[in-house]
Structure 1
Amino acid sequence: MTSETFDDSQPSKTRLKAEADAAQEIGRQLVALPKERLKKLQLEEALLDAIAEAKRITANGAIRRQMQYIGRLMRDTDLAPIVEQLQKWDGKHQEENARFHQMERWRMRMLEDVKAIELFIVEFPHTPVQQMRTLIRNAQKEHAAGKPPKSSRELFKIIRETMEGKSSPEDDAFDAALPADESLDD
């Protein structure tokens, strides 16, 4: 074969195989997604049906064939938006885990060191201080008595609400009591 007879317009078998494998891998990720997320991707009906079928199959050989079928269906689908959304969800999941661990560290610090709540208040000024102090004391008493960590769980909930900027029920009641035309910023 000379260089003159080589046709650049035809993709190589290697590249086609790599693209098929990539589509099949994305298909595996789609099969692992819950139904709610699959609906958000707005996939074609045939692809959604194939994914639903793959979730029902239990035999290894059948799963392999179904994944190949999903990969074949995905060759005709624009994969860029799907890959982009999968990456966003993966990044968001990692961010949520990091935030959760940060909240857990705050709770542990508060239970171990009384002054940790002061640092938390500096960082989050809208902290329900009295409620948190009570929960910290109760959690420490529960731990010492070997009781279930009811107050510790409640403390975590308050930390999460404070860090996420959610107002407490008391704040909502106070805001509701204000006349509509008045503002605290005046």
Structure 2
Amino acid sequence: MSEFEYDDDEFVSKSELKRAAEAQQQLGEKLVELPEGKLAKIPLDDDLLEAIRLAQRIRGTREGFRRQLQLIGKLMRSRDIAPIEQALAELEQSHHQQNALFHQLEKQRDAILAHGDDAIQAFIDAYPKADRQRLRQLYRQATKQAEQGKPPAAQRELFKYMRQVATA
């Protein structure tokens, strides 16, 4: 083999290396955006966690923040990022599921306000632990408030109760 021939399995172009480094820096940026509670769920070593927390504190300084993000990217290159990516994906999946449930409950609440007992029965069929009497009471209060032109406090209370039942 001459000195100019490359083994295709080992050769990585400079562009590929740059793309990989940029992807790791973007992953680091996602970590910096996480609140403390969610950040605690990500498997991070002490050095990386400290660098992320520093970036969160200096977010307002333009150049310092940019350089800190680069440092985080550099630290990410020397680590196995698969568990970090997996944990982030699980957090995002959980967030999407919560949003879907929230939208479903909004639709069910609107159906209860529009159709009364039939929609209440449909909700109880979906969530057998729901209290029919409580749902009917909140429905009556909500319709009464709407007729009187009052703020929709009972509608909010109805949604709150439905969310409590759905997540229990």
TM-score, normalised by the number of residues in structure 2: 0.88
Alpha-carbon distance between aligned partners in 1 of 2:21 and 2:2, rounded to the nearest angstrom: 27
Residue 158 of structure 2 is aligned to residue 158 of structure 1:
no
User: Counterpart of 1:113?
Assistant: 115
User: Counterpart of 1:146?
Assistant: 149
- Unaligned ranges ≥5, structure 2: none
Alpha-carbon distance between aligned partners in 1 of 2:124 and 2:42, rounded to the nearest angstrom: 41
Alpha-carbon distance between aligned partners in 2 of 1:104 and 1:162, rounded to the nearest angstrom: 13
Say which one has the larger Rg.
Answer: 1
Question: Quick one: which amino acid aligns to residue 86 of structure 1?
Answer: L
User: Counterpart of 2:97?
Assistant: 95
TM-score, normalised by the number of residues in structure 1: 0.80
Deviation, 1:3, is 6.4
Q: State the secondary structure of the residue aligned to 2:40.
A: helix
Total equivalences in the alignment: 164
User: Counterpart of 1:49?
Assistant: 50
User: Counterpart of 1:62?
Assistant: 64
User: Counterpart of 1:29?
Assistant: 30
Question: Quick one: which amino acid aligns to residue 39 of structure 1?
Answer: A
Q: Deviations over 1:93-128 (max 9, x none)?
A: 111001001011111110111221122223333321
Runs of 4 or more above 3 Å deviation: 6-10
Give the number of the structure with larger relative contact order, counting CA–CA contacts within 8 Å between residues 6 or more apart: 2
Question: Quick one: which amino acid aligns to residue 87 of structure 1?
Answer: A
User: Counterpart of 1:137?
Assistant: 140
- From 103, 126, 133, the equivalent of 1:123 is 126
User: Counterpart of 1:71?
Assistant: 73
Q: State the secondary structure of the residue aligned to 1:40.
A: coil
- Unaligned ranges ≥5, structure 1: 167-186
